[in-house]
Structure 1
Amino acid sequence: MSAYKQSIPQADTLMGAMRSMGYSFEAAIADVIDNSISANCNVVKLYFPSEPTDSLVVGILDDGEGMSADVLFEAMRYGSTDSEFERQVNDLGRFGLGMKSASLSQCRVLTVVSLHEGQLSSYSWDFNCIQERKEWIVKELEQTEIKALPYIDSLLKFPHGTLVLWQDFDVLEKTSGGLVYDALVDLKDIVANNLALIFHNFLSARGKDNVKMYVNKGKIKPMDPFLESHPKTTTKKERSIAIRDSKGKERQIWVKPYILPFATDLNDEHRKLIGGIETLRIKQGFYVYRNKRLIIWGTWFGMKPRSELTKNARVRVDIPNSLDDIWSIDIKKQTASIPKQIQRQLRQTVIDAMDISVRKQTHRGRRENVDDIDYIWDRMEGRGKTFYYQINRENKVFQMVRERMSEEDYTLLEILLKEIEQNVPTQQIYIDKSNDAIRQEEPDNRLDEVYQLGVYMVSLAKSFGKKSIPEIVSDLMRTDPFCKYKVIEKKLLENYKDEIK
C-alpha cells in the first residue's frame, strides 16, 4: 500500500533561490506597496537613508488597517494565501509571496512592524539566521526591540498601519562595488518615477480612493501615460470584452486606445506627465492594469512591431484580479500575456490605433498623392520597397531659376545638387527625430522671408512675359514653400494690383 511522507523544503536553499527571482529594486518596492493599498491605506511613506551610516535601512510605511500579531505572523509565512481563491476586488496580491520574496530579493533582513488596535507587533526574517540554522524560523521582536527600530516614531503617529524595513543590502553591495549608500541615493529617484507611473490611478484619484505617496519629504506626483486632459490627445471609445475565467465565470475587461499629441504640442509639464519624450518609441503599446495598478506596458505582445510612426499609440486594458491565471500574471507582477480567446478582438484595436498614429505622423510630413502641389523634394521608390529623395527639378521655383542660368552654370548646379542628394544625413536625422531634437518652430521672420522671395519670383517670371501676374502667383502658391503660407497670396496680388488692372 502506498504511503505519503512529508517533504519539507530546505529552508536556506529555497529562500536563497527565491531571492534570485529577478526583481528590480523599484519593482520590489512596488510589490510591498501593493499590500499597503490592499490594506486600504491613504498614505505611503518611503524612507531612504540621508547619511552614509553603518546601518543603512530603507523603510516603507503605510497608514492601512494594520495587523494583529496572529495575522502578521501568518502574513510572514511564505505562500500565506492561495492564488486559486477568489480575493477581494481591491486585493493586489497574487501568491502570498510578494512582500517576502520582493523584500528579500534586495536585502538579507526583512522586519515588519504593525500597529493594530493600539498594539504593536513585529516579526523578522533574517537570511543570515536561516543559512546558519537551515530552518524556517521567523523572529518575533519584543516591545523594547520594536521601539528601537528605525522610523518607528513615524508609525506611532498613525492610529494604525504597517512599517516594512529592509536591512543588509548584499545585492547592492555587490553591484555597487561596496558603495551601497550612493546606490540608494541613485535609486531614490528611480523608485519615485516608477511609483508615479505604476500607481498613477491611485495618486490621481479623488476622495477616499486617493493615496498620497512620499519619498522622504518629497511628494510623488502621478504620471499620466495617456495625457487624457490634453486637447490634442486622440481617444477612441472604450469597449468591454467578455471572457470566462478558469472557473467558467464570465468576466469583463475594458479596452481604450489613445494616440498622444506630437512632441511639439507638449509643454514641459506634459512631458513630465508621460515620463519624458525620449522614450516614447519604447513606451508605445499596451498598458495592462490589474485593479487599477499598472502591470505591464510598452509592448504590443508580438501583434505588431514597434516603429517610429506608431510611437504615440497606446492601448489601455483593465482586468480584474480574477483573471490573473488567464493573463499569466507572474509572481513579480511584471509580465503578462494576452489570452488566446481575445487576441483577435484586440488585434483590430491595435491596428486601428497604429493607423491613426501613422496618419497623424505622415500628415505632418509630405502629403502623398497631391497632384497640385510642387514639392521641393521628391520621394522616389527604389528596389524592394525602399525610398530615396531627390530635388524636384520640375518645381516651378526651380524652373524659374533654371531659365535664368547659362548651361555652364546649370551644369555646376547639377553637380552640387547630386552631391546633396547623395549625402542626405538620413541616419542622423532619424536619431535626432527619435530624440525630438529637430527644431520644428520657424524663425519669427520666416513669413517675411517667404514673401520677399515671392516678390522676387513674381518679378522674375513677369520678365519672361509668358503669364499674367495672377497666373504667376497662382503657380507659386502651389509650390514649396509658398503653399504653406496662404496669406502671402493676397499680399502678392495687392503688391501688383496696379499692374493687374
Structure 2
Amino acid sequence: MSLHKYRNVPPRASALLESLRGMGYSIETAIADVIDNSISAQAENISITFHWAHNQSYIAILDDGNGMNEANLEKAMKLGEISAISKRKEDDLGRFGLGLKTASFSQCRSLTVSSITKESGFQCFRWDLDLLASQTDGSWLLIEGPIEQDKFKQEPLIKQNRGTLVLWDRLDRAFPSNITEQYFLDAIDSVQKHLSMIFHRFIEDADISISINNHKISSWDPFAKGHLAKTWATSSTKLVNGNGARIECHVLPKLEMLTTKEAKELEGVNGWKEHQGFYVYRNKRLLVPGSWLRLGDSHQWKQDDINSLVRIQLDIGNLCDEEWKVDIIKSKVTPPHSIRESLVRYASEARKRAQQTNKRNITRNLNISELTQASIWNCTSDNHYVIDRQHVAVVALNEQLSNIAPLSLLLSLIEKQRPIQRMWVNEPSEELKAKPISEPSREMHELLKVMYKNMISRKGMSHSEAIRKLNETSPFQQYPELISKLEET
C-alpha cells in the first residue's frame, strides 16, 4: 500500500485552452492539421469553405471519410485522448491527440464538429471558449449539438450523408474584427498555395481531392519530376540505420531551360532560396518544405543562392516521430544521429552538382572576351590569378612607355584584387574566403611611393589630402602604418 497521499488537480479549462491558442499555428498550418484527420479517416474529397460576413465570417472543412459515432466523436473532442507514444496505424497522420483542437482554437473561439456514419447517423459536439471562461469552477463543458441559428451550416454534411464537418466560428485570431474582405481573399490564396505544397503527393497520386470554395487545388511538384532539362537526380534509396527512411536527391533544371510559367511554379511560395534543401515527408505528408536541418560538413549549411537548385526528398514513417522529434505543428524535425553522416554525404554530392550547374550559368553571363584563350588572366597551378605579361594589350602598352616600372607595379596591384566570378567558376567545391591581410611586400612599398608622388606632383594634392586618399583606397587602407611613413614632398 502506498504511503503517499494524492490530489487530483485538473487544469482550469478556460486557462489551459487560452494558453494552447498561442502554440504558433498560422491559418495555413491549422487547416492542414485538420485535413490530416480527414486523410486518416480515408476521405477522398475534402471541401473547404471560406464564408465572408465581417464578424460573422466562418470557415468549414468537410470530408467524405469514415465519420465517427457518438463515442468516437466525444473522444476526438477531448484533449490528449490518445497518447503521443501510443502505437498508431501506418497511415495515421496524427500524433499528439491535440491537432484538431489546438489548430482550431488557434483561429477561432467556437469549434463545432459534426459527423455522420451509416450506423449512428448525425452526431455533433461543440467547444465554446467564452462559455468555458464563464465557468467559475473551471468545468470542461462540451456542448451537444450545433448552434440553433447556425443549423444551415450543417446542410452540406447532411446532404452528403457521410463524413465529418469541422466548423470554425468567431474567427478572432484568424480574422480580427478590423480586417477587410481583401485580407480575407488573400488568406484564401495563401491557404491554397500551402495545401498545394503540403499535400502535393496525395493530390498527384489521386488519393484525395481538395477544393476551396468549389475551386479544386492542384499539386505543387517541388522536384520537377519528369522534366527533360533536369541536370541530376538519384533514385529512391533506403538509408542504412534509418529505420525505413528513404532519400532521393534532385538538382532542378537551370532557369534558362524553364519557361516563365515553369520557373514561377518551381519557385514555390517561399522563393528559390528558402525552398532549397531537405523536404521531409511523413507518410507522404510534407513536414519540412526545404531546410538543411542544421546539418553540414564542417559547419551548418545556410540557405544561399549557389545551392538554390538542390531539393532532397526524405521519407520517414510515423513510427519514427519520437526518433525524429517531430513537433506538434508538424513543421520541424531533427534527424537522429544514426543517419546524420549519411544525410550529409548525400546532400554534399547534390550541393556539389548544383554549384557546378549554377556556376556554369554565371559563366554564360561573363564577358565573352574574359573566357577566351586570350584572356588577360592566367591561373597558376595553385589557383592564383596573375596578369599575363605577354597579353597583346600589355605588350602594346609596354612598347609605348619609356619606363615600364610603374606599369609593372600597377599590374601587381590589380593581381591583388581577386577576380571572384572567374574563381567561382573554377573552384566549384570550395567556398571563397577573403585571405588574411599579409605583411606589405616590397612592391607595395614602391607602389605607394609612386601613387603618393603622382597625387602630389600631378594632381596637386597636399600631403594630408594624399594620405587621407590612400587610407580610403583599396588595398592600401590595409596598411595604415606604411602610409603614415610616407615623407612629405
Could you tell me the TM-score, scaled by structure 2's length? 0.73
Bigger shift: 74-83 or 264-273?
A: 264-273
Partner Cα distance (1:259, 1:344) in 2: 20
Q: Which of 125, 138, 141 is the matching residue for 1:137?
A: 141
Q: Which residue of 2 aligns with 1:285?
A: 277
1:379 Cα deviation after fit: 9.0
Q: Which residue of 1 aligns with 2:65?
A: 64
Q: Which residue of 2 aligns with 1:457?
A: none
Q: Which residue of 2 aligns with 1:117?
A: 118
Secondary structure of the residue aligned to 2:354 is: helix
Does residue 48 in structure 1 map to residue 47 in structure 2?
no
1:225 is matched by which residue type in structure 2? P
1:364 Cα deviation after fit: 3.1
1:287 Cα deviation after fit: 0.5
Partner Cα distance (2:377, 2:114) in 1: 69
Q: Which residue of 1 aligns with 2:96?
A: 95
Q: How has the CA–CA distance of structure 1 residues 196 and 38 changed in structure 2, closer, same or farther, with 3 Å as cutoff?
A: same
1:116 is matched by which residue type in structure 2? T
Report if aligned partners of 1:39, 1:66 keep a CA contact under 8 Å in 2: yes
Partner Cα distance (1:195, 1:281) in 2: 20
Q: 1:449-481 CA deviation, whole Å, 9 max, x = no partner?
A: xxxxxxxxxxxxxxxxxxxxxxxxxxxxxxxxx
Secondary structure of the residue aligned to 2:46 is: strand
The answer for unaligned runs of 5 or more in structure 1 is 245-250, 409-416, 431-501
Q: Which residue of 2 aligns with 1:496?
A: none
1:21 is matched by which residue type in structure 2? M
1:410-421 equivalences under 5 Å are none
The answer for unaligned runs of 5 or more in structure 2 is 403-410, 425-489
Secondary structure of the residue aligned to 1:345 is: helix
Q: Which of 225, 229, 233 is the matching residue for 1:228?
A: 225
Q: 1:365-389 CA deviation, whole Å, 9 max, x = no partner?
A: 3499xx99426574989xxx999x9
Report if aligned partners of 1:375, 1:392 keep a CA contact under 8 Å in 2: no
Partner Cα distance (1:171, 1:87) in 2: 32
Q: 1:308-337 CA deviation, whole Å, 9 max, x = no partner?
A: 211111111100000000000011111110
Partner Cα distance (2:223, 2:320) in 1: 24
Report if aligned partners of 1:56, 1:181 keep a CA contact under 8 Å in 2: no
1:237 is matched by which residue type in structure 2? S
Q: Which residue of 1 aligns with 2:325?
A: 328
Report if aligned partners of 2:374, 2:391 keep a CA contact under 8 Å in 1: yes
Partner Cα distance (2:61, 2:14) in 1: 25
Q: Which residue of 1 aligns with 2:250?
A: 258
What is the count of residue pairs matched by the alignment? 400
Report if aligned partners of 1:121, 1:141 keep a CA contact under 8 Å in 2: yes
Partner Cα distance (2:34, 2:198) in 1: 13
Partner Cα distance (1:364, 1:272) in 2: 18
1:147 is matched by which residue type in structure 2? K
Q: Which residue of 2 aligns with 1:462?
A: none
Report if aligned partners of 1:172, 1:180 keep a CA contact under 8 Å in 2: no
Q: Which residue of 1 aligns with 2:168?
A: 166
Secondary structure of the residue aligned to 1:58 is: strand
Report if aligned partners of 1:122, 1:146 keep a CA contact under 8 Å in 2: no
Q: Which residue of 2 aligns with 1:75?
A: 76
Q: Which residue of 1 aligns with 2:434?
A: none
1:6-45 equivalences under 5 Å are 6-45=8-47
Q: Which residue of 1 aligns with 2:442?
A: none
Secondary structure of the residue aligned to 2:274 is: helix
Q: Which of 221, 237, 246 is the matching residue for 1:239?
A: 237
Partner Cα distance (2:415, 2:172) in 1: 57
1:280 Cα deviation after fit: 0.9
Q: How has the CA–CA distance of structure 1 residues 236 and 117 changed in structure 2, closer, same or farther, with 3 Å as cutoff?
A: same
1:278-317 equivalences under 5 Å are 279-304=271-296, 305-306=301-302, 307-317=304-314
Q: How has the CA–CA distance of structure 1 residues 348 and 167 changed in structure 2, closer, same or farther, with 3 Å as cutoff?
A: same
1:294 is matched by which residue type in structure 2? L
Q: Percent identity?
A: 31
1:112 Cα deviation after fit: 0.8
Partner Cα distance (1:9, 1:183) in 2: 36
Q: How has the CA–CA distance of structure 1 residues 299 and 406 changed in structure 2, closer, same or farther, with 3 Å as cutoff?
A: same
1:267 Cα deviation after fit: 1.5
Secondary structure of the residue aligned to 2:78 is: coil
Partner Cα distance (1:316, 1:352) in 2: 14
Cα RMSD between the aligned structures?
A: 3.7
Q: How has the CA–CA distance of structure 1 residues 2 and 145 changed in structure 2, closer, same or farther, with 3 Å as cutoff?
A: same
Q: Which residue of 1 aligns with 2:263?
A: 271
Q: Which residue of 1 aligns with 2:450?
A: none
Partner Cα distance (2:142, 2:270) in 1: 46
